[in-house]
Every structure is written in structure tokens, then in C-alpha cells.
Amino acid sequence: MEPMASQWTEAPHSMGTTIMAVEYDGGVILGADSRTTTGVYVANRASDKITQLTDNVYLCRSGSAADSQVVSDYVRYFLNQHTIQLGRPSTVKTAGTLVKELSYQNKSFLETGLIVAGWDKYDGGSVYGIPLGGTMLRLPFATGGSGSSYLYGFLDQAWKPDMTHEEAEKLVVKSIALAIARDGASGGVVRTVTVNEQGVERKFHAGDKLPLFYEEIAPRPSPLRAH
């Protein structure tokens, strides 16, 4: 007997998502939410959407989970070989160009928006936005995913050039938290990855530790149980 299929068992895995990357003085910070959905069901509430490409370059993935994974797997494979031949760490621009080539040459098949960010000694911290279609743009900061719609106004006002690492990290966490507050396809925890000359640092900002916004309330024991 076949199990009944419903919309949410058949729907493709999609990372509704909010992703972003910000360049600061000395490196970059990548940030993402952690929700993966199949239709309306949350298939994974603690996904890691920030994927490593090389020691010094990372990738934020959004859109179709499968498409973004396949692109990141190929690019990691290419860069692995490239680094061996080159004899030193590959540049962020090279990583971005490879991601762009895959996105552009396969634009009719792929549905994934990507952000490549990292640090190299030639350009310092760099952020490259590669949206649907395969356009590649170097930007001081980039956002992506369905949750990014809610951040245009906020970042128009809140982003400033030449931020320190602390300021940039606070901005990333607050932005993703705001997007999670309004976008049903984004949720869970906020993961951040800092990449600079010294190396890489991963941070985990738990969902219940994120700032609360309009109409959200802090957890407390049930009013019916209060003595």
C-alpha cells in the first residue's frame, strides 16, 4: 500500500532563507538563518547554509537546497584542485567567478541565489553577490533569499561604510533576526562566520537569545500556573 502523498511530502526542499554578507575593515562576516522547508513543513530547523569553499572563502546558499548544494560541491572540487596547482590560497574573486560561471551557464536549470565572501591578501575582505541569472557584482554588503525583501529599508538606513567587526556582526545578527520575524520561510538560529587574515570563526546565536521585536513577547511560565 502506497503512503498517501501530500503537498508537503512532494514539495522540493527549498531554503526560503535569509542570507547576508558584510565587508568590514579587515574581513567579512557571513550570516544566515537555519530554516529549510518542504512546502509548509520545516524539514530542518537547524540547517547550516554557510558552506565552506576553501580555507578562506565561504558561500551563503539560498533558493533550491539541491541546486545550491550541487553548485557548492562543484566549486569546492574545482577550488581544491586549483589551490593545489596554484600553491597558495585561491582568491575570493576566483571562487566567485567559478560560482558565477555555473550559475550563468545553467541559468535555465538552476534556482539558487548565492553570496560568495572571504578574505585574500590581494583584495582583503570581499563580498560577491550572485543572484538568479548569474550576474556577479562585488558589493560592500549583499543580501539574499526570501527574507531579504524585509531588509532593504532597514539596511538602507542602518548600513554604514567602514564598520568594525563588532558593529558588522551586530548588524548581521539584527538583520537576520528582523527577517526571521516577518518571513515565514526563515527561522531558527542565526549562524555567523567571520573570515579574516587570522582565519575563520563560526558563531551560533540561538533562536531564543535573539532580540525581540514588535508584537513578540518573552517566554514565561503560564499565567494559569502563577501562585
Which residue, among 64, 77, 72, 69, has the nearest Cα to 99 in the 3D structure? 72
Q: Which residues, other chains included, contact 27 with Cβ-Cβ below 8 Å and sequence gap of 6+? A: 119, 124, 125, 165, 194, 195, 196, 197
Residue 120 C-beta: closest distance to another protein, Å: 8
Name the minimum Å distance from CB 79 to another protein.
11
Instruction: Establish if 197 lies at the interface with another protein (CB under 8 A).
Output: no
What is the DSSP code string of 123-184?
TEEEEEEE-TT---EEESEEEESGGGGGGHHHHHHH--SS--HHHHHHHHHHHHHHHHHH-T
Interface with another protein includes 51 (CB under 8 A)? no
Residue found by looking up cell 525583501 in the block: 149
**C-alpha torsion sign, points 149, 153, 158, 163:** positive
Residue 106 found at the interface with another protein (CB under 8 A): yes
Helix (H, G, I), strand (E, B) or coil at 67: helix
Site for another protein (CB under 8 A): how many residues? 37
* Candidate list 7, 8, 12, 86; residue touching another protein; CB under 8 A: 86
101 binds another protein (CB under 8 A): yes
**Per CB under 8 A, does 46 bind another protein?**
no
Catalytic residue chosen out of the listed positions 9, 17, 91, 194: 17
What is the separation of C-alpha 150 from the centre of its chain, rounded to a whole number of angstroms?
15
Q: Is 91 a residue that touches another protein (CB under 8 A)? A: yes
Q: Which is nearer to another protein, 19 or 210 (CB)?
A: 19
Q: Which is nearer to another protein, 40 or 86 (CB)?
A: 86
Residues that bind another protein (CB under 8 A): 70, 74, 77-78, 81-82, 84-88, 90-91, 93-94, 97, 101-102, 104-110, 122, 129, 131-137, 139, 149, 152
* Active site members: 17
